[in-house]
Structure 1
Amino acid sequence: MPSPLPPNPFPPNAFHVAYQRCLALEAAAPHLQALPDSPPPIVCVRLLGHLLRLAPAGNPQGQVEREITLATDDANLMKLAKHFVSNFIKAFRGSRGSTPAQSGRPSPPSLEGARENTMVIMQEGGIDYGTAWTTAMCRGDNRCMLTGESDFRGGGWRHIEAAHIIPQATNRNIGEEGNKFHSAGVRTVLSMLAEIDLPELLSDGLIHRLENIMTLQHDCHAAFDDLILWLKPVEGIQDTYSVHEAFQGLKTVKGIPDKVTFSTTTAYPLPHPALLALHALCCEVAWMSGAAEYLMDIERRMDETRVLANDGSTADVLMKALALVET
């Protein structure tokens, strides 16, 4: 749930100064007026403060500090926060939706075949979704990577889906002229906050590469896409993650352990820890700042307002939603 900014954690330096601006704006937030079609001031300032605290040390954290420093006044700080809501938080939540259905049961290839197919996957141009799904299922023995449950096509009782860590739509439409939400702004923000060269890793059709794919049963997939469930790499232990939840009890109900270790008997690559860390950063900042509730409220009101009222009373909901679709 939304959390006040803690005391300044930085020693006297540029990060300290930038974070102090966030603390000052947080104190003033109750008396500030929200910008048109923008999150409330308290959400804006907490998003910036928590993002500065939690961004990976080095270039990502430095980029956030520079953006805060370059904002000349409180209004520009709130505009910056809105930019992050649109091109970071909303970019991940924008992946919500059903997974294309796949037919047939994948058959695990031989280890030699896996090596050959992996080389094809890594080549420029990537693979399509269906191939990625089948290959990921072979990599994970037709099981959910969080619960261990088997897919019904493999004799189990669950519908296992291919879940993209960096959303498929976010990458596919980046840079396409006329598409405002999936614009270059998304690529810029995600690249700014990632600990790896994201454009190189996922460029030119490589959004379906196995490093960006997890096999999850349907409920886990939905929770992951809704930013309710996330995984944080455990330092010093390869392919091991602590599992976090936005709502207490979710892991218990779904049978998800507090810690998971990914492994495979094939030569296929496992999910990339830097991509899961970026998703986790988005989730934590979204919930700590209140941006998650802000977006959920807009989505709820849009769902309730299927048809705009003739008297214009529902126009503000549409405007808020459109405001998050920025260039």
Structure 2
Amino acid sequence: MDRWVSDARPLPDQPNARTGLLDEFPDLLQSTSDDFLENLLSVYSSVLQAEKAANACPQDLVRSRLVGYFILYAPTLQALKAIADELRSVQRSTADSESFNSACYRLGDELLQQFVRPFRERRCRQSIDYCEEEEAPIPEKLSVAEALECAPQNAIIARLTALTRDCFRCEVTGAFDWRNVMFNPNGLARKYHDEEFPNAPLKMLDAHHLIPDFDCDTSGWHDGWDNQGQPLRSEAQWKFWERFGHPELRGELAGKIHRLENIVTLRSDICEMADDLRYCLKPVHGKYGVFDNVMFGPNPDMYKRLHECLGRRIFMVNSAADIPHPKIKYFRIQATCCFIANMSGAIEYNDFETLTTRLVPWSGAET
């Protein structure tokens, strides 16, 4: 059995951080003011000091690294500018390094609670309950316009429309959706499989939601409903993104979580790995539709072979031009969450059953 090898690592020093930022944001120097990068590296240096001061406290060590890696792997330039402004404001308002460190750990805890934790849910099965298909019949023929109008609030229509857009195939492995091929012999999926890719495997596919449903807390603390039968709202998560560069997310996804722009068709096991923050598709800068195939865990090379995710980079083919494609921004946000959760060490901790943050090792023994 493979020994667990942690992906957690110390934050890189300032020179390597500078190189990493310019790799992540090739247009950084052209898109920002002359002193932006130097100011950013100045606050990053303070985060490094907070990390060093947290050596005796594993929880604060993880929190400081969450902040540092969010800087290095921010999903967009807007998010990078927002966290830089946040940390510079903290720098100006704190009288000493100890006060800054405490503020940094609080920000790291916020990243854990409002970013990492909501993303680490098995949401592919929660978002689309397959028993609903028999209970809620869908009209046999919907125009594309009708499907797009219904999809944001209808998980089943969204899944079927995304399958059509993605040619009934997993975007990573090319496997076909076995239900459409086997149970609809006269359908498009069967014809496409038999005529174009007769040797492609048939697998269970799922509609993977890149951004989770912030409107309803399904974290397991409760059944997701209040005493009046209304879904519990996670207002703090929308406000988190309003602070960190993307206030538009609420307008795009609140009450419309099944938008086609938020869904990508993946094989079920890969969908679950993505929900567990063990796998992500990281967009390659300057190459639209090309993604780095990134896997974390005890033995990522073995798991890539096991799950047939062999290529370092993949090109996603969405053939239906009149059906919206997944948004690159959403891929970037999910990839950021995956990177910072694994590289900070936060992925190796579970939230214990208490309303306060308690980091508990993967083995179940408290730190």
- Report TM bin, short chain: 0.7 to 0.9
Match of 1:130 in 2: 156
Name the SS of the counterpart of 1:171 in structure 2. Answer: coil
Contact 1:118 1:267 in 2 (8 A): no
Unmatched 5+ stretches in structure 2: 1-6, 19-34, 183-200, 219-224, 359-367
Matches within 5 A, 1:218-233: 218-233=268-283
Match of 1:183 in 2: 234
Deviation at 1:58, TM superposition (A): 3.5
Which of the residues 139, 149, 155 maps onto 1:120? 149
Report the identity percentage: 25
Matches within 5 A, 1:61-72: 61-71=80-90, 72=94
Name the SS of the counterpart of 2:326 in structure 1. Answer: coil
Which of the residues 256, 263, 268 maps onto 2:318? 263
Matches within 5 A, 1:6-21: 6-8=12-14, 9-10=17-18, 13-21=38-46
State the one-letter code of the partner of 1:285.
Answer: I
Separation (CA, whole Å) in 2 of partners of 1:98 and 1:28: 41
State the one-letter code of the partner of 2:155.
Answer: Y
Match of 2:211 in 1: 166
Contact 1:106 1:134 in 2 (8 A): no
Which of the residues 67, 79, 95 maps onto 1:48? 67
Deviation at 1:95, TM superposition (A): 4.5
Contact 1:195 1:274 in 2 (8 A): no
Contact 1:118 1:268 in 2 (8 A): no
Matches within 5 A, 1:149-298: 149-153=175-179, 154-155=181-182, 157-168=202-213, 170-172=214-216, 183-193=234-244, 197-203=248-254, 205-247=255-297, 248-249=300-301, 250-256=303-309, 257-258=311-312, 259-265=314-320, 267-295=322-350, 298=351
Cα-to-partner distance string for 1:259-316 (whole Å, 9 max, x where unaligned): 2323223521111110000000011011111111123xx4xxxxxxxxxxxxxxxxxx
Separation (CA, whole Å) in 2 of partners of 1:58 and 1:217: 31
TM-score (norm 2): 0.69
State the one-letter code of the partner of 2:164.
Answer: C
Name the SS of the counterpart of 1:216 in structure 2. Answer: strand
Deviation at 1:227, TM superposition (A): 0.5
Check if 1:28 corresponds to 2:53.
Answer: yes
Deviation at 1:162, TM superposition (A): 1.2
Cα-to-partner distance string for 1:54-103 (whole Å, 9 max, x where unaligned): 21463311221233234431222211111110000001013456341154
Match of 2:31 in 1: none
Structure 1 ranges of 4+ moved more than 6 A: 104-110, 176-181
Name the SS of the counterpart of 1:30 in structure 2. Answer: coil
Contact 1:211 1:270 in 2 (8 A): yes
Would the alpha carbon gap of residues 46 and 271 (structure 1) be closer, same or farther in structure 2, given more than 3 Å must change? same
Size of the alignment, in residue pairs?
A: 288
Contact 1:56 1:195 in 2 (8 A): no
Match of 1:4 in 2: 10
Would the alpha carbon gap of residues 180 and 289 (structure 1) be closer, same or farther in structure 2, given more than 3 Å must change? farther
TM-score (norm 1): 0.77
Would the alpha carbon gap of residues 187 and 98 (structure 1) be closer, same or farther in structure 2, given more than 3 Å must change? same
Separation (CA, whole Å) in 2 of partners of 1:24 and 1:136: 46
State the one-letter code of the partner of 1:197.
Answer: E
Which of the residues 92, 112, 116 maps onto 2:119? 92
Separation (CA, whole Å) in 1 of partners of 2:177 and 2:68: 42
